[in-house]
A = this chain, B = another copy of it.
Amino acid sequence: MFCAAVDWGTSSFRLWLLDRAGMVVAERRSDEGMQHCHRVGFAPVLEAHLAAAGAPTGLPVMICGMAGARQGWQEAGYLDLPARLDTLPEQAIRIAGAAREVFILPGLAQRRAEAPDVIRGEETQLLGVLDASDDTRLFCLPGTHSKWVAVEQGAVTRFATFMTGELFALLSRHSILAHAMPQDMEVREDAPRFLEGVEDGASAPEAATRRLFGLRASQLLGFSDRGDGAAYLSGLLIGVEIAGARAFDGGEKALTLLAGGPLARLYERALTVHGYTVATRDAGEATRRGLHQAALRRWPHCAPVEAAS
């Protein structure tokens, strides 16, 4: 075994034990994210999962995500732009007083007064999918806080975060629109109301807060069905994101989408409709590969640690 790789988000924890080639030896998932560990402590949660996964004593650990936020385990700071992704590992901070080597990767900060922005976690996904150190590409990483990232010659030069996923969660569960859709229903990318929402959001983003109420009114007046509510809302918010990304993409329409599952299919469809050529890579795998890359750079000469017999 070579290292443990941990993706530690706000509300989720994911651990892989990897060999030197990056192959998965064991894996653990839980909902013990930053918010949970803020109360119970980070070290006990990590050690419990390492033990349960069969990690030997002394196996080093590479972490990315919100565990490195100010309100996390220990603040891992931010790299300023332009940020070469292959320098992330050397800027990782070491947890003081841990029983083994535990590092947390830093995030990225865009310190521009007119477009201040931060990334924490997605930088590691990007590291995991760069093909060469001079890679130049446009990325979209959808999620709670959807990120669009420009990488030039292996360095992140600018990025933009859209609150798409969080708005969907808030509006579908806690607004008047909770009455306008069944809860936790999966949206299909070929649903007509999803595509209608994408079109409305992308073509007239200024009308979005009006369309939100219109979704409810449309049902009250019999123009649409409650079963289609989530599809329209999802499409509308993704459409607004696409409208906002026009000012960001610089005319570049070849896009690498880092996502998985239904969300990947929704974004693929919406982006393709709006002229993007989309290559999709699995987000979870990208994170694991990024952590593995970081571990290889941090511990280049490390001999594998043998599991205790």
Contacts and interface: CB of A to CB of B under 8 A. Distances in A.
Interface of A: 70, 109-111, 113, 115-118, 145, 160-164, 166-167, 170-171, 174-176, 204-210, 212-214, 217-218, 220-221, 223, 237, 240-241, 243-244, 246-247
A220 B116 CA distance: 9
Contact of A109 (B170, B171, B174, B221): B221
Contact of A240 (B70, B145, B208): B208
Contacts of A204: 247
Contacts of A243: 206
Nearest to A71: B179
A166 B220 CA distance: 19
B244 A206 contact: yes
A246 to B, nearest CB: 7
B166 A176 contact: yes
Given A208-B240, A240-B209, A221 B164 contact: no
Contacts of A247: 204, 206-207
Given A113-B223, A206-B206, 16 more contacts: A111-B221, A116-B221, A116-B223, A161-B214, A162-B213, A163-B175, A163-B176, A164-B209, A166-B175, A167-B175, A170-B175, A205-B205, A206-B244, A209-B240, A209-B241, A209-B244
11 contacts: A70-B220, A109-B221, A116-B214, A117-B213, A117-B217, A145-B176, A163-B209, A206-B244, A207-B244, A209-B237, A209-B241
Nearest to A213: B161
A160 B243 CA distance: 22
Contacts of A110: 217
Contacts of A205: 205-206, 208
Nearest to A161: B213
Nearest to A173: B174
A249 to B, nearest CB: 13
A160 to B, nearest CB: 5
A290 B210 CA distance: 26
